[in-house]
Amino acid sequence: MATLIRWDPFREMASLQNDMSRLINGAFGASNGESRSWIPPLDAWENEDELVYAFDLPGMDERDLSIEFEDGSLTVSGTRERKDEASKDGLYRYERRFGSFTRTIGLPQGVTEDSIKAEYKSGVLEVHVQKPEQPKPRRIEIGSGGHATIEGKSSRK
């Protein structure tokens, strides 16, 4: 029996971006990896009232994270330190990402700083953004039926 999986181009792009980041960091990063950067995976969804962005940040402490809002963009950044728990002789492979990261997301026009809330629990940072109120159409009355006279002077001489 075949299993159908819905194709998600955004997941594919995020995976490609992470792979490219890993490739570039591997080729040009420091050999000890101290200056490497990485990109945490992100899920985004919306409900009637808000947009929600969930970042997977396992092993990070809340104080190592920074969330900034400027010019309609939300920037999440932080640093995850490598903890050398095994000796160099006993460790065969490093796959867990470490170092600094920055991820910026464009928010809808009209979002204010007061409409953004964040919570960090069990290695997942959730940022909740209240949807801005959409402008409602206004009814414009057509003149009262009388004709107004506009007077003015010519600027020509």
What pLDDT digit, counting tens, does each position of 59-103 carry?
Answer: 899 999 999 999 899 999 999 887 766 666 676 677 777 889 999
In the prediction, which pLDDT does 34 show? 47
Phi/psi at 154 (nearest 5 deg)?
A: -80, 140
Closest CA to 36 of 14, 53, 21, 52: 21
Over the stretch 8-34, which tens digit does the pLDDT of each residue have?
Answer: 776 777 777 777 766 776 665 544 444
Question: Could you tell me the residue range of the domain that residue 42 belongs to?
Answer: 38-83+90-130
| 22 within some domain | no
Residue 150 within a domain: no
pLDDT 10s digits, 112-157: 999 999 999 999 999 999 998 877 888 888 876 556 555 666 666 5
State the total domains in the chain: 1
User: What CATH number is associated with residue 43?
Assistant: 2.60.40.790
Residue 21 lies in a domain: no
96 within some domain:
yes
| Residue 16, domain member (yes or no) | no
Residue 5 included in any domain: no
